[in-house]
């Protein structure tokens, strides 16, 4: 009888051991699967991945005072009769300011008025020379946007200091909108009046 009990007890021990091993394997496989899913999700979000997958930012960059602008317009500061090396002041903002001057004047009727405004404009940027190139490239579209803003300016705005400041802001926004539409990036910091006449 002792032999029978011993024989009956022997098959039960391996069965319990086999079930425990199977549970451990299933738990390990579940953890590996969950970890793989998390890793895949992070890769899709761009949190992890190889350096080759990182997209390079091709937008214009700020140019610090004293740094060379790799996109400076050709001939800037060089050639016969050109000024000497540009010397930046130490105060003020840390970035260089470049200007784009529109060649032709702008003339437009004022909104609901018999008067018109005539002005010369320039725009500034702290970004590299690509913004200046894009202003030149899209000057026709920029001019059209500027004329629309001028035509929507009231006589009162055209005469008051506050109105002129608001007009500068609206012109800056209009120019940046054209650049964003065409190049995906604005970059114009401000618009300046070189001349300004209301008649």
Render pLDDT for 172-191 as a digit per residue (tens, 0 to 9): 999 999 999 999 999 999 99
CA distances from 120 to 50, 124, 132, 146, 174 (A): 51, 14, 17, 11, 16
pLDDT given at position 155: 96
pLDDT, one tens digit per residue, over 1-26 is 555 555 555 555 555 566 777 777 77
Query: What letter does residue 73 receive in the DSSP assignment?
Result: P
Other CB atoms within a 10 A radius of the CB of residue 187 amount to 24
The answer to whether the pTM exceeds 0.95 is no
Quick check: 167 and 157 in contact, CB under 8 A?
A: yes
Q: What are phi and psi for residue 85, nearest 5 degrees?
A: -60, 135
Q: Residue 14: its pLDDT value, please?
A: 54
């Amino acid at each position: 009888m002792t032999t029978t009990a011993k024989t009956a007890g022997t098959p039960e021990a391996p069965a319990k051991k086999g079930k425990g091993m199977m549970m451990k394997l299933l738990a390990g496989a579940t953890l590996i699967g969950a970890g793989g899913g998390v890793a895949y999700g992070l890769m899709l979000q761009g949190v992890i991945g190889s350096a080759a997958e990182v997209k390079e930012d091709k937008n214009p960059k700020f140019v610090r005072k004293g740094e060379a602008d790799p996109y400076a317009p050709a001939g800037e500061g060089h050639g016969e009769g050109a000024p000497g090396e540009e010397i930046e002041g130490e105060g003020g903002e840390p970035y260089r300011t470049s200007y784009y001057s529109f060649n032709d004047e702008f003339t437009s009727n004022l909104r609901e008025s018999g008067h018109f405004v005539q002005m010369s404009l320039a725009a500034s940027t702290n970004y590299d020379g690509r913004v200046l190139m894009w202003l030149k490239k899209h000057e026709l579209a920029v001019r059209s946007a500027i004329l629309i803003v001028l035509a929507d300016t009231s006589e009162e705005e055209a005469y008051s200091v506050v109105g002129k400041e608001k007009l500068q802001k609206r012109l800056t926004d209009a120019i940046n909108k054209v650049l964003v539409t065409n190049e995906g990036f604005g970059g114009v910091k401000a618009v300046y009046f070189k001349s300004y006449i209301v008649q």
